[in-house]
Structure 1
């Protein structure tokens, strides 16, 4: 996990609340100004999670529920969870909150929510229910969706006569992982095959995304564990067949049979080489407003461990394929005399090419890799390039590849696409096969122009009165621990 930030405190405590020795396992606790005051209207949970500071009792620290230990170099190593809190789609979730909601239903006698994983490693919420009588799961899911955020709505359900219990009387949560889920029971019935070419292509895309072949055209997307991330993966698969869908249509029609009529043929073909100036997007403009001091250093990075020695020549060619496939790697940024930032697409690679480094076998490899990563981060240049670096690190026993990309041209979802394309191109080149990548879609330049047009559209202008009313609404100040002079008044106007 690394080391704590400068204004944060990290404690690793034993069950009695005392610090554990170096290298020993304990619960990770966090202190500092980033810690909240507590859970709203949940005094019981506050008492469990927010405890007195070990050296300054008037302050408090937060018990994360993570198991960790300090290493000799000061880094913290994450070792798993010690409570029932789970992380789904990047959100920390207390299953007890969902269980409380489920137990309010008259048909449900007892509920237990756990985090489970499918065979692809995808984590999902599973609700295990003991019911008084028959439950309509579709109605239950809709009711939960109306009162809980989407990441807290269980995607799979299991119906039991009684909860399995330990000798202590507590629910045996590990045993619940083995309980067959409702949708799995239905999947044992022969899956309904597709009846049209569109259904066939769509069903193949679903099977690829979910990593299952026992899916039919009537299986429910959400019951299979579908979410917004998998929706993007589904779009990517359909693009390969020149087809497209709207995410809204998928969520409103969550089966192949229902969704097939909404599939459209995508006739758009992007130009091979995008060049010239492009409009900055809203997020890009916001970036330059906030990060004017050192805009070159705001990067994403990944370190990948290779299962075998890498073919440097093949990887060099694969990186060049990425540049051709993703025009953002050819971007550069500059400031005009009026201090406004602009972006344009270069005709060349803008300095993004593969580098190789031979690590010294006599020195600590981890420290060498960290040093190379730090150098790569400082080596990005918005004006002169490059905006990305790819480095093969040859170690004594295995190779790594380090990828560092400026956040202006990549985000979390883009990484998955980038890695898929890099892997596919690399394997195609090594096998001396034609490079088989999805066709290029709308460019960043096209997207920027579309956003600018939408910003001036009548459709968007019709929303202005709504936001003006919001802006003029009087609201009570949000309670804070540090009172700034801007919050001294009893009421204020919401900022635009």
Structure 2
């Protein structure tokens, strides 16, 4: 068993890479599938010309020599320069929700751009804002889905894994919740703090479909947009608010309140 980097070189203990299998009992390849055989069964000069099978699984070997499985490489996506393991988000969300079935996909929204969309099965009501706040204490900001959609049952493949193709279609077919502004009802932002944040949100999000009770990450915000908001605010309030503060207080009214307290 080997753990390899992207260049097919062996990694030291503790480093995460692709798991490969070698040895005398290794198969010759896939039956009647030359392309798959060429991609998965490879000869590696870095291993002295040994022939191995690339499993497509990610893992690492600990200092005791034990091999740890971390999930499939095809469930790892890249978003705004960050590599994200979808299963890591799903496991954390399921733990927060008492074991409910969870799945996450990357959906390229035509209005707001690429972002993570999460799904929760079980049919029970879901507080997406509370789940976001709980995950913010466990995961990096870029790992946080922009929205969560409650389903009776999460679509799955024969083997029990989430059907990400079907989920991506669901993300496209499920409209974002409409705020009073989106439906034509004028919303009043009270105080200079809320008015300033509303102006900033509209600038970086590119729309005004939000209210004082709106959640930044549920109306199109993500980590890069939050950084743009912080930069936009700096010359207007005299300091650049830490991204941590914006993530911890994603509701517009709460952001206005904490920003009026000054730098922390």
Give the shorter-chain TM-score range: 0.5 to 0.7
Any conservation in 1 of the 2:142–2:223 contact (CA below 8 Å)? no
Cα displacement (A) at 1:262: 4.2
Which residue does the alignment assign to 1:173? 167
Which residue does the alignment assign to 1:193? 188
Q: How many residues align?
A: 217
Any conservation in 1 of the 2:56–2:74 contact (CA below 8 Å)? no
Could you say what the CA RMSD is over the residues aligned between the two structures, in angstroms? 4.3
Cα displacement (A) at 1:114: 0.2
Which residue does the alignment assign to 2:250? 254
Tell me which of 79, 82, 86 is aligned to 1:91: 82
Cα displacement (A) at 1:232: 2.5
Query: Is residue 2:148 matched to residue 1:157?
Result: yes
Residue deviations 1:124-143 (CA, integer Å, cap 9, x gap):
21111112523333332333
**1:98-247 mapped onto 2 (5 Å cutoff):** 98-104=89-95, 107=98, 109-119=100-110, 122-164=113-155, 171=163, 172-180=166-174, 184-187=176-179, 190=185, 192-239=187-234, 241=236, 244-247=239-242
- Residue 19 of structure 2: SS of its match in structure 1? helix
- Residue 115 of structure 1: SS of its match in structure 2? strand
With CA pairs under 8 Å and 6+ residues apart, which has the higher RCO, 1 or 2?
2
CA shift in 2, pair 1:36/1:160, >3 Å: farther
Paired with 1:64 and 1:132, the residues of 2 have a C-alpha distance of 32
Tell me which of 57, 61, 66 is aligned to 2:50: 57
Residue deviations 1:170-211 (CA, integer Å, cap 9, x gap):
622332322426xx2253565733123442232111011112
CA shift in 2, pair 1:242/1:156, >3 Å: same
**1:329-340 mapped onto 2 (5 Å cutoff):** none
TM-score of the pair, normalised by structure 1: 0.36
TM-score of the pair, normalised by structure 2: 0.62
**1:322-471 mapped onto 2 (5 Å cutoff):** none
Cα displacement (A) at 1:214: 0.7
Which residue does the alignment assign to 2:64? none
Cα displacement (A) at 1:239: 4.4
Paired with 1:144 and 1:244, the residues of 2 have a C-alpha distance of 27
Paired with 2:12 and 2:167, the residues of 1 have a C-alpha distance of 29
**1:274-289 mapped onto 2 (5 Å cutoff):** none
CA shift in 2, pair 1:246/1:178, >3 Å: same
**1:253-332 mapped onto 2 (5 Å cutoff):** 253-263=249-259
Larger of the two Rg values belongs to structure = 1
Gaps of 5+ in 1: 1-8, 11-28, 66-81, 267-496
Gaps of 5+ in 2: 22-39, 59-72
Any conservation in 2 of the 1:31–1:61 contact (CA below 8 Å)? no
- Residue 143 of structure 1: SS of its match in structure 2? helix
